[in-house]
Amino acid sequence: MRALHRTRNYLRAMGRARRHRAELVGHLARRPLVAGATMGMESALLLSNRMDPKLKELAELKTAGLVSCEFCLDIGSALATGAGITEQQLRDLPRYRESGAYTDLEKLVIGYAEAMTLTPAVGEDLAELRGRLAEHLSETQIVELAMTVAWENQRARLNQSLGVRPTGMSDGLACAVPERMS
């Protein structure tokens, strides 16, 4: 059921796109094999449903914000709204540690996404966060979360490097903002 809800939410967000809709598709069309692999991974993560979709959206948004991918923040904010993330949570994402808008588990997931996005993504912080996540999530869920964050890093960096612009999917909605990596 989660996969169906996520798919509907994704299609609704895509339907809101009003400008620059073909930019990414145009780039990927130049390399059909890469486009096919991209669609395969996107589909696999969309249909993977061991994780709470809200947690996945928060992790993706934090990653997109740290990479400063405006296209990813545009679609991610639209998807997050559909997944039940509040306007307050979208606004407070850069300062999630101090915000009362998140549960402890949500803060832990956001922190894990942040640790994975920083370069290099190694060290005691990441290992400690993974251990703390294991107190709340199954190994399967942690793998899904790690794949989600890793893929968002790839997606955001690809979009940034190709100059893919926002399409307006979050127009009229609250939107997460780009952040600076420390």
**pLDDT at residue 23, as a whole number:** 80
Tell me the CA distances in angstroms from 85 to 13, 32, 124, one per residue in order. 14, 35, 29
**pLDDT at residue 66, as a whole number:** 94
**pLDDT at residue 94, as a whole number:** 95
Residue among 118, 120, 125, 17 nearest 71 (CA): 17
**pLDDT at residue 28, as a whole number:** 82
Query: Is CATH 3.20.20.140 correct for 2-162?
Result: no
Regions of the chain with pLDDT less than 70: 1, 123, 174, 180-182
Tell me the CA distances in angstroms from 96 to 12, 27, 43, 135, one per residue in order. 27, 34, 29, 20
**pLDDT at residue 92, as a whole number:** 96
The Cα 117–Cα 85 span in angstroms is: 21
The Cα 3–Cα 45 span in angstroms is: 9
- pTM for the full model? 0.88
